[in-house]
Amino acid sequence: MGNKLFGTDGIRGKANVYPITPEIALQLGKAIAHVFGAKGQGEMKAVIGKDTRLSGYMLETALTSGLVSMGMDVIGVGPMPTPAVAHLTKSFNASCGIMITASHNPAEDNGIKIFGADGFKLPDSIESDIEEHILGGEIERAHGTQQNIGKAYRMEDARGRYIEFAKASVHNRSLKGLKIVLDCANGAASSIGPAIFRELGAEVITVANTPDGNNINMNCGATHPENISGLVRQHGANVGISLDGDADRVIFCDEHGNEVNGDRILGMCALDMKKRNRLVKDTLVVTSMSNLGLIKAMKANGINVDITAVGDRYVIESMREHGYNIGGEQSGHVIFMDYVTTGDGIISALHVLKHMMNTGKTLAELTNFMDVFPQVLKSINVKEKRPIDQIPALAEIISECERSLGDRGRNVVRYSGTENKIRVLVEAEDQALVDTWVGKITEVINRELC
């Protein structure tokens, strides 16, 4: 058995390959029930949701068996966005919520995210506790008594509960008159997403909403915003909305079909919230991947920018610690902490649409507040994830790049938390300079890690 299960975003890997196997899922269920039973938070029940991957059935069944065998009841809510599971965990006063998803990854991958009773992702200490029970082997032999076996049942109205929660976050603001192209990534929001926008009065042209278990994220969704760019222009739509497989992130297209990423959405919302005196401590939280143009624009408008490590969990940690109420990532995770405990693509989209309706402005007009610094982000497959500071040639070229750019740019070189990839980001005022340094860093990576 391996020596680590949890990564930066739960447990992730190829379906039916360690650790995403029914055997590990069974033990994970038992370990979760054991750990949360000892903690005594919420009732002894777990909410389980999943996206539309075929392997979700296998993992859901194994997890459920493990949980009920150790005395925990299970509420199955079926295909459901990740943020919906976080919300329903709190709503049902459950001990924990479990989402079976690999987010924006291809169909052959899957993963398991766990939320605490408060709807937030688990802290490292609890993940480590669960992990130790599995890797130590003792949980495999642990069994509850006949009297303590839990029950598993379906919550038939879970979908409706989340729909009403999402609409209430914008006070059921009418979207009548808006035409939307919505890409559901053949994922968890395939039925729930169109229903929410239509119920509020928008005209919705839906694509990638026919999941078959194998087509999630396939040339669609938030990682392929180009999928709806042409459709927005073709239908004369006001906006395009691209969700990812588990609907916790969103990328937009404006009325011209131009991509509008998380940086522009975060900045637009922060400016609006500051204007309405709703921006706590006048602060926006972003990661080191956000464009320098966003940071410059925010400071020019009297908004502080708190920059965290890459990953929505680090954004959320900072927001919780300091009480900030908006933050997110360029990749489309937007966290409105006044309403949600995690990124929520649908609720983020509702707030953008509400802002468009309230101002009477187009998305292009609302997001034209920043000059984007030339930026290149490159992902490279690697054989292994050796610590960067233990690769002298790579550490040296990174330092050389930093010295050269000074305060006129920056670079970020980091491994993906969920895939065998290294990501290289270089940003500067001059595109030629960006291309030169991306080329130099990539050359060293190809030589040392590929």
Is 28 buried (19+), middle (13-18) or exposed (0-12) by CB count in 10 A?
buried
Tokens of 17: 């390959």
Answer whether CATH 3.90.1580.10 is correct for domain 375-449: no
Residue 2's pLDDT is 46
DSSP 123: P
With CA atoms as reference, report the closest residue to 269 among 334, 329, 206, 319: 334
Q: For residue 1, what pLDDT is reported?
A: 43
- Residue 8's pLDDT band (boundaries 50, 70, 90)? confident
What is the structure's pLDDT at 66? 96
Q: What is the pLDDT of residue 417?
A: 76
Instruction: Write down the pLDDT at residue 3.
Output: 55
At 140, the pLDDT band (50, 70, 90 cuts) reads confident
Give 375's contacts (C-beta < 8 A, 6+ positions apart).
Answer: 291, 425, 426, 427, 434
CA atoms within 13 A of residue 131's CA, in its CB half-sphere: 19
Residues 111-133 pLDDT 10s: 999 999 999 999 999 999 999 99
Residues of the chain with CATH 3.40.120.10: 11-156, 161-259, 260-366
The mean per-residue pLDDT over the stretch 177-184 comes to 98
Of 434, 183, 401, nearest to 291 by C-alpha is 434
Residue 39, pLDDT above cutoff 70: no
Total residues found in the chain within this entry: 450
pLDDT the model gives residue 411: 92
Q: Give the least confident one: 6-10, 205-209, 333-337, 411-415.
A: 6-10
Per-residue pLDDT of 199-213, as tens digits, reads 999 999 999 999 999
Is 248 exposed, middle or buried (CB count within 10 Å of its CB: 0-12, 13-18, 19+)?
A: buried
Architecture per CATH, domain 11-156, reads as 3-Layer(aba) Sandwich (3.40)
Mean of per-residue pLDDT scores for the chain: 94
The pLDDT > 70 percentage for the chain reads 98
Bridge partners, 328 (sequence order): 334
Instruction: List the one residue out of 115, 101, 113, 114 whose CA is nearest residue 211.
Output: 101
What is the tens place of the pLDDT at every residue in 46-77?
999 999 999 999 999 999 999 999 999 999 99
Is 103 considered catalytic here?
A: yes
Predicted pLDDT of residue 326: 98
Segment 346-378, tens digit of pLDDT: 999 999 999 999 999 999 999 999 999 998 999
Q: State the pLDDT at residue 270.
A: 98
Instruction: Give the whole-number percent of the chain exceeding pLDDT 90.
Output: 89
Q: Which two tokens stand for residue 147?
A: 């009297």
Cα distances from 95 to residues 147, 153, 271, 306, 425, in angstroms, run: 20, 16, 37, 32, 39
Please tell me which residue in 55, 69, 95, 103 is annotated as part of the active site. Answer: 103
Q: Which amino acid is at 203?
A: E
Domain boundaries 260-366, corresponding CATH code: 3.40.120.10
pLDDT tier for residue 35 given thresholds of 50, 70 and 90 = very high
User: Which pTM value belongs to this model?
Assistant: 0.90
Helix then strand then coil, % of the chain, to nearest 5: 40, 20, 35
CATH number for the domain running over 161-259: 3.40.120.10
Higher pLDDT, 146 or 165: 165
